[in-house]
Amino acid sequence: MAEKVLMKGNEAIAEAAILAGCRHYFGYPITPQTEIAAYMAKKMPLVGGVFLQAESEIAAINMVYGVSATGKRVMTSSSSPGISLKSEGLSYLAGADLPAFVVNVQRGGPGLGGVQPSQADYFQATRGSGHGDYHMIVLAPASVQEMASLTLRGFDLADRYRMTSMILADGTMGQMMEPVTFETGDIQPPPEKPWATVGTDLRRKHNVVNSLSLVPEELERQNFARYERYAQIEEKEPLWESYMMEDADICIAAFGIAARVSKNAITEARRRGIRVGMIRPITLWPFPRAAFRAAAEQVHSIISVELSMGQMIEDVRLAVECRVPVTLCNRAGGMIPSPEQVLCEIEKAAEKENCR
């Protein structure tokens, strides 16, 4: 087994990206994800890669577009306001069917907001973030180990489906250190990319990478084709963790740091005799709808624990189709719910549904 090392979540993403074969990083510094850029600045030159601090987030995402068009693995990272700036580029990447790996280590918003942890970019990430009909694959790590493993997975998924995959983390995940191992055994080489614009050697027709399509019939055909791919992803790629759900009467829905806090609350609630479990979405898009739909047949209520004014709760409600009540337990603006706050909501739900 590989050696356990202690790393910040941000550094684990950077190291995993290099292991995944990413040799091009473009970014612009912003708290709380700057360690990704700092790590890349140190390590990329040692592996023959490119680290470039762009003049802006917009420039960085367009550099990603350019490198991706040549078939190379490439990434950028930022935090909430920076991702808003990148959103035009994310839409263009989708329109051109280019793979890309993007990291958002969220901070409180809206606007310039603050620098403390947040999950308020859930809508932005899961609904595509830029204009037009498109999705990104959205991965939500809840440990430093997952910051690494979901980075490896993110590059694979991006290449396989020719689209952006995004890590949606938060300031806590980025800044905390935990032991992490890098299992290099499962790393797949990138697939062939016959569409890449790498020169024809006069042996084939030119490849064109573009998001402009002025004939509506053709643009519609592209959109439908893209959504057929999305349907496959929704069927094959949802990931989630079921935690103590076997006998649960109440279900917590939480991802990232909110799931970590919720585990403490669940431990204490169980000690008090309340059967509570958790479904932790690991992919936010595709959302693990089937897991929640199944839970709705079993539990009396669901509590969505979020660092936002309530965003994922909408997907939970859509998944359970009004079969059970879904309530919100939240903090916002850089604040994190405490285990006591989550426990209080669990007790309220247990009282109401008479399931203690």
Q: Which is nearer to other proteins, 206 or 271 (CB)?
A: 271
Q: Give CA–CA dist 87/111, Å, rounded.
A: 15
Q: Give CA–CA dist 141/330, Å, rounded.
A: 19
Q: Which is nearer to other proteins, 289 or 331 (CB)?
A: 331
Q: Work out which of 53, 87, 207, 264 binds other proteins, going by CB under 8 A.
A: 264
Residue type, 20: A
Q: Which is nearer to other proteins, 4 or 236 (CB)?
A: 4
Task: Say if residues 6 and 179 touch (Cβ distance below 8 Å).
Answer: yes
Task: Say if residues 102 and 137 touch (Cβ distance below 8 Å).
Answer: no
Q: Rounded to the nearest whole angstrom, what is the least distance from the CB of residue 262 to other proteins in the complex? A: 8
* Pair type for strands 164-170 and 301-306: unpaired
Q: Work out which of 338, 351, 352, 356 binds other proteins, going by CB under 8 A.
A: 338
Q: Is residue 31 part of the contact set for other proteins (CB under 8 A)?
A: yes
Q: Which is nearer to other proteins, 69 or 259 (CB)?
A: 259
SS3 223: helix
Q: Is residue 341 part of the contact set for other proteins (CB under 8 A)?
A: no
Q: Work out which of 32, 89, 99, 256 binds other proteins, going by CB under 8 A.
A: 32
CA distances in angstroms from 165 to 93, 97, 175, 211, listed in the order given: 11, 12, 21, 18
Task: Say if residues 147 and 173 touch (Cβ distance below 8 Å).
Answer: yes
Q: Is residue 115 part of the contact set for other proteins (CB under 8 A)?
A: yes
| Six token digits for residue 74 | 């490439």
SS3 114: coil
Q: Rounded to the nearest whole angstrom, what is the least distance from the CB of residue 197 to other proteins in the complex? A: 40
* Pair type for strands 250-253 and 276-281: parallel
Give the full edge-to-edge strand order of the sheet including 283-285.
50-53, 24-27, 74-78, 100-106, 164-170, 137-139, 283-285
Q: Give CA–CA dist 239/170, Å, rounded.
A: 19
Q: Work out which of 73, 86, 263, 300 binds other proteins, going by CB under 8 A.
A: 263
Stretch that binds other proteins, among 45-53, 171-179, 279-287, 308-316 (CB under 8 A): 171-179
DSSP notation for 186-199: GPPPPPP-TT--S-
Please tell me the count of residues contacting other proteins according to CB under 8 A: 23
SS3 44: helix
Q: Rounded to the nearest whole angstrom, what is the least distance from the CB of residue 261 to other proteins in the complex? A: 4
Stretch that binds other proteins, among 13-21, 109-117, 321-329, 345-353 (CB under 8 A): 109-117
Q: Rounded to the nearest whole angstrom, what is the least distance from the CB of residue 145 to other proteins in the complex? A: 11
Q: What angle do CA 60, 140, 59 make, to 5 degrees?
A: 5
Q: Which is nearer to other proteins, 3 or 297 (CB)?
A: 3
Q: Is residue 333 part of the contact set for other proteins (CB under 8 A)?
A: no
Q: Is residue 336 part of the contact set for other proteins (CB under 8 A)?
A: yes
Q: Is residue 244 part of the contact set for other proteins (CB under 8 A)?
A: no
Question: Which residues would be at the binding site for other proteins (CB under 8 A)?
Answer: 4, 6, 31-32, 114-116, 171-172, 175-179, 257, 260-261, 263-264, 267, 336, 338-339
